[in-house]
Each structure stands twice: as structure tokens, then as C-alpha cells.
Amino acid sequence: MDDPVVRLADSIFSDRISCWQRLQELEKLTQEESAPVAILQEIVQLEIRRELCFQELRHLNDKGSFLGKHPFISQKSEREQVFQMLKDDPDTYFDERKKIEDNISRYSSQINGKKSSEAVRERAKASLEKYQVKLQLYKDVFREYMGRQ
């Protein structure tokens, strides 16, 4: 998966699956007549995000490009920010990258931990994926920066 478009499409597809799994968990909690408002709000947010995933993947399939609405894609501005950070303040760039790597390590251990509940593992998987995408962004920016030198 060296192609960034394929990598991004895979991340969006995985996000769609994570949303669906979380929705299944929340659906069980809403079987009662008085579901908490916070759960209902989370359901709405997840449905919106899942629909964004569908739209992005459908557009990629039909037109060969992304719409740019999904949070993973709207990181172009984040990419520019990371690039500027690396250019202007490399120490901050490497501090932020280290924090991301630490988060990946922490979530990986939660997934592999024997004491972790299934719910904790699922949340850790979603967080792990988010930070892996972010780390890839940092790596890509670094590679691009070094190529310009």
C-alpha cells in the first residue's frame, strides 16, 4: 500500500467499519425507552461520519478523486501546518511526532492487554487507527521536506 490514495481509501473504509461497530454497540443501549441524550447524539454523529465515508469512497470509485469532506481528507490544511511546523520549528515537530508514537504504543498495548475489556479494545482500535494515519502524515511530510533539501 505505497499509493497514498489507496492508503487513504483503506483508512476511510476502516473508519466506516469502526463507525458501524460502535453504532451496533450503541443500538443495544437504546433499546430502552429512555435512552440518554448523549448516546443519541453520538449515534447521529457516527451516522453522519459513516455517510461521509460512503460518499468519499463512492466518489473515488466513480470519479477517481475524493470529495474532501471526510476528516481524514480534510487534513490537507493539517498537512500544511505540519510542514510549516517542521520548517519553522523542527523541535516541536519531533515532539509532536513522539507524542503520536507514544499514543500508538499505548493503544497497541490496550488492544493486546489481557485485562482490557472488549469495549476498551474497540475504542483503542479506533484510536490506534487515527494515530497511525496521523503518524503516516508526519512521515510523508518529513519525506517531502527532505526531498526538497
pLDDT in tens, 36-84: 788 888 888 899 989 999 999 999 999 988 888 887 776 556 887 898 8
Are residue 33 and residue 98 in the same domain, yes or no?
A: no
Please compute the mean of the pLDDT values over residues 117-127 and round it to a whole number: 87
Are residue 38 and residue 13 in the same domain, yes or no?
A: yes
Are residue 45 and residue 106 in the same domain, yes or no?
A: no
Instruction: Give the percent of the chain with pLDDT over 90.
Output: 36
| Sign of the dihedral through C-alpha 10, 16, 18, 24 | negative
Are residue 132 and residue 107 in the same domain, yes or no?
A: yes
Burial class for 37, CB neighbours closer than 10 Å (0-12, 13-18, 19+): exposed
Using the 3D structure, point to which of 20, 53, 74 is the last residue of a domain. 74
Are residue 24 and residue 53 in the same domain, yes or no?
A: yes
Give the whole-angstrom CA distance, residue 118 versus residue 51. Answer: 25
Give the whole-angstrom CA distance, residue 138 versus residue 133. Answer: 9
Burial class for 138, CB neighbours closer than 10 Å (0-12, 13-18, 19+): buried
Grid coordinates in use for 122? 474497540
Are residue 29 and residue 49 in the same domain, yes or no?
A: yes
Grid coordinates in use for 130? 487515527
Using the 3D structure, point to which of 74, 91, 115 is the last residue of a domain. 74
Are residue 101 and residue 36 in the same domain, yes or no?
A: no
3-class DSSP state of 30: coil
Which pLDDT does position 11 carry in this prediction? Answer: 86
Confidence category of residue 138, pLDDT binned at 50, 70, 90: very high
Q: What range defines the domain where residue 144 resides?
A: 75-149
Name the more confident of 86 and 65. 86
Q: Name which of 33-37, 57-61, 99-103, 114-118 the model is least confident about.
A: 33-37
Which pLDDT does position 89 carry in this prediction? Answer: 94
Grid coordinates in use for 48? 453522519
Are residue 63 and residue 24 in the same domain, yes or no?
A: yes
Which pLDDT does position 77 carry in this prediction? Answer: 66
Using the 3D structure, point to which of 53, 74, 95 is the last residue of a domain. 74
Give the whole-angstrom CA distance, residue 66 versus residue 11. Answer: 13
Which pLDDT does position 148 carry in this prediction? Answer: 73
Number of domains in the chain: 2
Which pLDDT does position 65 carry in this prediction? Answer: 85
Q: Which residue's entry shows cell 511526532?
A: 97
Are residue 79 and residue 68 in the same domain, yes or no?
A: no
